[in-house]
A = this chain, B = another copy of it.
Amino acid sequence: MMHILVLVLDLGGTFVFAISGAMVAVKYRLDAFGVLVLSFAAGNAGGITRDLLIGAIPPAAIEDWRYVVVSALAGTITFLWYPVTRRYSRDVLWLDAVGLAFFAVAGAEKALVHGIHPMMAALLGMLTGIGGGMLRDVLVSGIPTVLRTDLYALAALAGAGVVVGGHLLQVAPTMAAVAGGCVCLALRFMAIRRG
């Protein structure tokens, strides 16, 4: 049950973040292959780093072929219909908030399942959420945007923190996951509205 929750959240976050990676790649005029690499990096680097750090080896994104397929799909769609996807780039910002919420919650949950200290589990949830975007930015040789916009990472940390808090209070994991996701989403939505 827990396993399926993490899987669904992880794949959903991967899809959305892979789109953001592909859009950056197209902006930097990378070719088709570069687009696919940045899709995969943005969609999976956070989760892979989390899995290496908690000892879930091979990481889910390597063991389970669906992560690659989902990333490639998102990258291909973005690449082929770039004029269209670009027009919706503001909506992508909303999608990105959803991806962040999924990853923060899934990351914290998986770390807890692997017996990591609660405080570190919350931080690993945050890392799962921001890691993909950081690698994406380093690969196109920029300073990761997350280092300049702190509310982004704090939203992820808050969402992950709720999951961990729920765990400590022995709330049902699904409930804690929904609550954590809502907190992360609400914080991001407020930040996006304010510009």
Provide the bound-state CA to CA distance between A150 and B33, in Å: 5
Knowing A53-B48, A58-B53, A143-B139, say if A63 contacts B117 (CB, 8 Å): yes
Q: Using Cβ atoms and an 8 Å threshold, which residues of chain B touch A83?
A: none
Is A150 a contact partner of B62 (Cβ separation < 8 A)?
no
Shortest Cβ gap from A123 to chain B (Å): 6
* 15 contacts across the A-B interface (CB closer than 8 A): A30-B147, A32-B150, A34-B148, A37-B147, A37-B153, A38-B147, A48-B53, A53-B58, A55-B58, A62-B120, A65-B117, A68-B123, A139-B143, A139-B144, A141-B141
Provide the bound-state CA to CA distance between A174 and B129, in Å: 41
List 18 other contacts, CB 8 Å, given A63-B120, A68-B119, A139-B144: A25-B147, A28-B143, A30-B147, A30-B148, A31-B148, A32-B150, A34-B147, A37-B147, A37-B153, A52-B52, A52-B53, A53-B58, A55-B57, A62-B120, A62-B124, A134-B139, A138-B138, A141-B142
Is A59 at the interface (CB under 8 A from chain B)? yes
Shortest Cβ gap from A168 to chain B (Å): 14
Is A116 at the interface (CB under 8 A from chain B)? yes
Is A62 a contact partner of B58 (Cβ separation < 8 A)?
no
Q: Using Cβ atoms and an 8 Å threshold, which residues of chain B touch A63?
A: 116-117, 120
Q: Using Cβ atoms and an 8 Å threshold, which residues of chain B touch A34?
A: 147-148, 150
> Considering the complex of A and B, which 8 residue pairs feature the smallest CB-CB distances, nearest first?
A33-B150, A34-B147, A55-B57, A31-B150, A141-B143, A53-B62, A30-B147, A65-B119
Provide the bound-state CA to CA distance between A37 and B55, in Å: 22
Q: Using Cβ atoms and an 8 Å threshold, which residues of chain B touch A147?
A: 25, 30-31, 33-34, 37-38, 139
Interface residues of A in 144-163 (CB under 8 A from B): 144, 146-150, 153-154
- Complex interface bits, A118-130 against B, C-beta within 8 A gives 1, otherwise 0: 0110011000000
Knowing A52-B52, A53-B59, A141-B142, say if A68 contacts B120 (CB, 8 Å): yes
